Structure 1
Amino acid sequence: IFNFLKGTIHLFRKSQRSLVGKLTHEFRLVAADRRVTVLTMIRLLCSFCRLLLCTLHFLILLFFFSLITCLISYWVMVKKPSPVYSFG
């Protein structure tokens, strides 16, 4: 009856992908939405123009970190629930 308890219990399966493969997969997940991709490119272009025209480099750094935060929050929003990531 309890034959399934004889083996090792693996709580989390190890992925066969490398770190670069995982990052590429997650990037494609976010980049699949064209609106996010276009808005990200526009925001990067505006930040680059600010860098050329403005001397307030800390402000550009703030905009860059704001962009990163927006992309991470979007990534969390589009994640599907799984045994490892249960919230979805």
Structure 2
Amino acid sequence: MSASIRVLTYNVQMRSWAMEAGAQGSLTPYENVEDRAKLISKRILDSEWDYDVLCFQEVFDEDGRDALISHLKGKYPYRVEKAQGDSVST
């Protein structure tokens, strides 16, 4: 058993369409967040690093979130969607 833990933290900036509407100076929104989620997932799964924990920030787009979960659940079957106060939503 390893004495270390590998953690990946990744700000994917997967903003919802509503957040992008009228936003000035923002990154160009991707036309298909599912494709972007697939590319992100593939990079993680193909990485030489064997991550124990993945932490994503700014996954506001629900379709993108669902796609990340779908693509990664084989290797990463557990998730915490929101930690708030004394409760955790899984």
Common fold by TM > 0.5? no
Under a length normalisation based on structure 2, what TM-score does the superposition of the two structures give?
0.28
Q: Which has the higher strand share?
A: 2
Under a length normalisation based on structure 1, what TM-score does the superposition of the two structures give?
0.28
Q: Which has the higher helix share?
A: 1
Structure with higher Rg: it is 1
